[in-house]
Amino acid sequence: MPRIDAPTVVEHHARQRRALLDAARSLLAETGEAPSMAAVGRRAGLARSSVYQYFGSPEALLHAVVADVFPDWAGQVQQRVDEATTPGEKVWAYIEANVDLFASSEQAVAHALSRVVEPHVLRGPMEQFHRRLQVPLREALAAYGEPEVPAMAELIDAMIVQASRGAGSGDPECSPQEVQRDLPLRRLRRLLGGYLGLPPAP
């Protein structure tokens, strides 16, 4: 009988499943391709047969990754917003958190999933993700006194996407972090810092 490295069998299974999901996400980010069950097992330190105990097929594993990543990303943004104090700082925390996601390996995961998972499987979780993501932003804008909350929220989201995707047009001598994260944030700060009442960026 395999050794159970957890206080209970239920927790053991939860840890194993978590390790497999994390392994699949890391392989998606690295390769951009759907990982094999054997590769996921090796990355998680489990036998290929053990992977099938948790996910009946490669497709089931990918669907589980989809169900896992979108709530995780939304939760990361929500946590950053919750940690800020004033409404203006909460809006900026939302912006920073989203730029950080664009600049992280999670963006590679998102691109890979869009290539290897059927659109109808992605559609529902993506729509729920975007709806959930808008909640902390709209709440912060309303608390800030913004009279056109829905329109401003959509505009801020569009600016985040455009700034992150257009970051490569900066100084070619910049480091990858400067191009992917710092440059978009500097541009967004210049555009929105005054509106949000933020102090000048250091």
pLDDT digits (tens, 9 = 90+) for 78-113: 999 999 999 999 999 999 999 999 999 999 999 999
13 in a structural domain: yes
121 in a structural domain: yes
The mean pLDDT value for 180-186 works out to: 91
The pLDDT of residue 8 is 78
**pLDDT level of residue 1 (50, 70, 90 thresholds):** very low
Same structural domain for residues 82 and 176? yes
The token pair that represents 45 in the structure block:
């330190």
Residue 142 burial (C-beta neighbours within 10 Å; 0-12, 13-18, 19+): middle
202 in a structural domain: no
Same structural domain for residues 3 and 40? yes
Picking from 84, 93, 83, 95, the residue whose alpha carbon sits closest to that of residue 184 is 95
Does residue 166 carry a pLDDT above 80?
A: no
Same structural domain for residues 176 and 166? yes
The residue assigned the tokens 């990543």 is: 69
The pLDDT of residue 85 is 96
The token pair that represents 159 in the structure block:
């600016």
Does residue 5 carry a pLDDT above 90?
A: no
Same structural domain for residues 23 and 82? no
Same structural domain for residues 93 and 154? yes
- Whole-number mean pLDDT of the chain? 91
Give how many domains the chain has, as a whole number. Answer: 2
The vertex-184 CA angle with 178 and 155, nearest 5°, equals 170
pLDDT digits (tens, 9 = 90+) for 169-181: 555 555 555 678 9
Same structural domain for residues 72 and 42? no
Question: Which residue among 38, 56, 74 closes a domain?
Answer: 56
Same structural domain for residues 46 and 101? no
Does residue 10 carry a pLDDT above 70?
A: yes
Question: Which residue among 22, 40, 56 closes a domain?
Answer: 56
CA-to-CA distance for 79 and 94, rounded, in angstroms?
Answer: 9
Question: Which residue among 56, 76, 102 closes a domain?
Answer: 56
Same structural domain for residues 10 and 30? yes
Same structural domain for residues 34 and 99? no
Same structural domain for residues 127 and 185? yes
Same structural domain for residues 122 and 189? yes
CATH number at 4 reads 1.10.10
How many residues are recorded in the chain?
Answer: 202
Look up the pTM and report it.
0.85
Same structural domain for residues 82 and 156? yes
152 in a structural domain: yes
- Which structural domain, as residue segments, surrounds residue 22? 1-56
